[in-house]
Amino acid sequence: MSAHVTARIDLGALAHNVRVLKARTDGRKLMVVVKADAYGHGLVKCGQAAVNAGADYLGVALLEEAVALREGNVPGPILAWLNTPHDRFAECIARDIDLGVNSVATLKGISNAAYSVDRIARVHVKVDTGLNRNGVTLADLPELILALSKAEAEGTIKVVGVMSHFAYADEPSNSTIADQIAEFKTAVDLLEAANFELEVKHLANSAATLALPETYFNMVRPGVAAYGVSPGEEVGAATDFDLKPVMTLCAPIALLKKVPAGTGVSYAHQYHTTADTTLALIPAGYADGVPRSATNNGPVLVGGEIRKVAGRVCMDQFVLDVGDLDVQLGDEVVLFGDPERGEPSVEDWAVAAGTISYEIITRIGPRVHREFINNSW
């Protein structure tokens, strides 16, 4: 059995990016975010590579992701922050996984689980400083602090961190950034006034880690930048910061056929050939994560040139008009990879699909084979 589509994951590039990001932070700790299967790159392999390269923490959204890291024998501190009051916390506490707490109700669930396994749960207070999504508001923080103090006195939890997230995550010049920094400082002050010993205070995402040193506190929390992808146009290209793309998405040519001018291609004939030409069938489609919205627009490196998807992206396949390019059955085409090798970038595909780079990489499906390279560094 052979994989039609391969995501080639360069663990050496990931390790390089981790070191670059850590060097920017002037001695602060570095949490590498590996949620969503390490942004589609492979959770356990990337988590291990990040730790080996010097990451002080790994961050995930879900408890299951944290447990998978431990089951993969990935060492070091791990934080899972997107929790509900009725999550199954006990296994995570027993596996030394830090937990995010966003409400008194969630704290109660964590405390009860810690009591059941006779362990102390390490928690990070998730504060809403203006995103108005996850987290406790400053108005509700005093009530949560009272509950945290009680639970800590009872020996079920220990408050070790505080965190928040920016509303304009990819716009470091937005005026709301300063407001959120001020709110975060207020939250830190309230927690420290309650005599919690905060080991880590983390606010900086990828964009802030690259562009806003005033957001560093004592730990930064980049995600997409660790995978060599820019967090946004305002920040600049990843290469501006010596970050290397980690994923290359490629597939073989499965079929070549000659067709005359005026031939309609793929569903609803959204593309018509303008001359006698050759069509190349690529066995990759939206079930693999190739966005259907990139119809007639997605760039692909084939035969040494960039050609755009011809017609609609289908569930399992799409077509390229390769003209008279010298290509053969089985030749590899590259959807995205390293622009320095002449390949389209993740950002190019985001533009083509009318979305963000995060979505392009995290949507790469489970039937896409992950091939890990350069895992010795």
- As annotated, the active-site residues are 35, 267
The span from the CA of 200 to the CA of 222, in Å, is 15
Kindly report each contact of residues 304-311 with a partner whose C-beta sits within 8 Å and lies 24 or more positions away, as own/partner. 304/342, 306/342, 306/344, 308/352, 310/265, 310/266, 310/271, 310/273, 310/279, 311/264, 311/265, 311/266, 311/267, 311/269, 311/270, 311/271
**Interatomic CA distance for residues 332 and 153, integer angstroms:** 61
| Residue 153 in tokens | 């006195």
**Do 190 and 198 touch, CB atoms closer than 8 A?**
no
The SS3 of residue 70 is helix
Q: How many CB atoms lie within 10 A of CB 69?
A: 26
How many Cβ atoms sit within 10 Å of the Cβ of residue 297? 16
